[in-house]
């Protein structure tokens, strides 16, 4: 039997559909969790990212100053980084706001469509970047796992290949959308 690898997952700007697909492994999730040590995830209550993780799945695009800090920190502390889903790989739906300035987005959301209080939040809110970017535009990525969301059988394939010490070959297995 192969040595357990440490696994982390991170959620940036996305809908959490990739994490839902991870949970949709159903019975295979029990098998996967027998092969890996899940050490950090929005599915857990761990607050600090570990010093070093073997594999990290990162869902979502980079949309804020906090996202940049998070992905840079994760990259420094991860041996094998996977862009997990179309938002992480291309920017996908969150990047649709790239057609508008940050000022236009804030105006539309907090003023034009306000029903009670048209005040923009400023305290404790991350600063929006001028453009939404995929993860590889900020840090090097070792594998892209497309899909909106990636299918559970593809997630299973990738994780079991990595546990076996192989780089997953996604040719003919993965697709966008």
Residues 6+ apart with CB under 8 A from 47: none
Distance CA 58, CA 142 (A): 11
Distance CA 82, CA 106 (A): 31
Which pTM was predicted?
0.92
Which position has the higher pLDDT, 119 or 72?
72
Distance CA 76, CA 53 (A): 10
What is the band of 109 on the pLDDT scale with cuts at 50, 70, 90?
A: confident
At residue 3, does pLDDT exceed 80?
Answer: no
The full set of domains in the chain, from first to last, is 5-96+128-163 (3.40.50.700)
What is the band of 117 on the pLDDT scale with cuts at 50, 70, 90?
A: confident
């Amino acid at each position: 039997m192969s040595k357990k690898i440490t696994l982390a997952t991170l959620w940036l700007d996305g809908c959490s559909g990739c994490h839902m697909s991870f949970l949709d492994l159903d019975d295979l999730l029990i098998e996967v969790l027998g092969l890996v040590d899940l050490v950090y995830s929005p599915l857990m209550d761990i607050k600090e990212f570990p010093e070093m993780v073997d594999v990290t799945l990162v869902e979502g695009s980079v949309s804020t100053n906090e996202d940049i800090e998070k992905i840079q920190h994760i990259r420094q502390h991860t041996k094998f980084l996977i862009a997990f889903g179309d938002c992480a790989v291309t920017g996908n739906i969150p990047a649709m706001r790239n057609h508008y300035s940050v000022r236009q987005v804030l105006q539309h959301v907090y003023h034009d469509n306000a029903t009670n209080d048209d005040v923009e939040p400023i305290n404790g809110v991350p600063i929006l970047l001028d453009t939404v970017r995929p993860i590889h535009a900020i840090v090097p990525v070792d594998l892209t796992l497309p899909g909106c969301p990636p299918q559970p059988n593809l997630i299973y394939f990738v994780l079991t290949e990595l546990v076996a010490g192989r780089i997953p070959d996604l040719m003919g297995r993965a697709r966008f959308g």
